C-alpha cells in the first residue's frame, strides 16, 4: 500500500472506527465520563466499545479494562475523559 492509501485508511478509521476505547469511563450517568459508552450503544455504534477504568469490572454491561494495555486489540479511536482535578 502506498502512502496515499495508508493516509486514506487512517482517515477512514478515524471517521468510521471499528473500535473505540473510552478511557476514564464511568457508570455514573451524572458525570461527563458516564455518557460516551451508553451514547455509543444507544445510537447504534456497530463496532467494539472498550471502557477503560481500573476501578470497574463492567460499565453498562460491557467488560471494563484496567488499562489500555489490557485491551484485546488496538482501538481505532480513543476518547480520554479526565476530571478537572487531573487535567492540570
| Size of the chain, expressed as the number of residues it contains | 88
Of residues 80 and 88, more confidently modeled? 80
The least confident of 13-17, 36-40, 54-58 is 13-17
Residue 80 has pLDDT above 70, yes or no: yes
Residue 83 has pLDDT above 80, yes or no: no
pLDDT at position 56: 96
Q: Mean pLDDT in the chain? A: 91
Q: Which residue has the cell 477504568?
A: 53
pLDDT at position 8: 86
- Residue 86 CA to residue 82 CA, distance in Å, equals 6
Number of helices (H), then strands (E), belonging to the chain: the values are 2, 5
Amino acid at each position: 500500500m502506498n502512502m496515499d492509501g495508508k493516509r486514506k485508511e487512517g482517515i477512514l478509521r478515524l471517521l468510521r472506527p471499528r473500535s473505540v476505547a473510552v478511557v476514564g469511563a464511568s457508570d455514573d450517568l451524572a458525570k461527563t465520563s458516564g455518557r460516551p459508552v451508553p451514547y455509543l450503544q444507544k445510537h447504534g455504534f456497530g463496532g467494539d466499545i472498550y471502557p477503560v477504568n481500573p476501578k470497574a469490572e463492567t460499565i453498562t454491561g460491557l467488560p471494563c479494562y484496567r488499562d489500555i494495555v489490557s485491551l484485546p486489540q488496538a482501538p481505532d479511536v480513543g476518547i480520554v475523559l479526565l476530571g478537572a482535578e487531573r487535567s492540570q
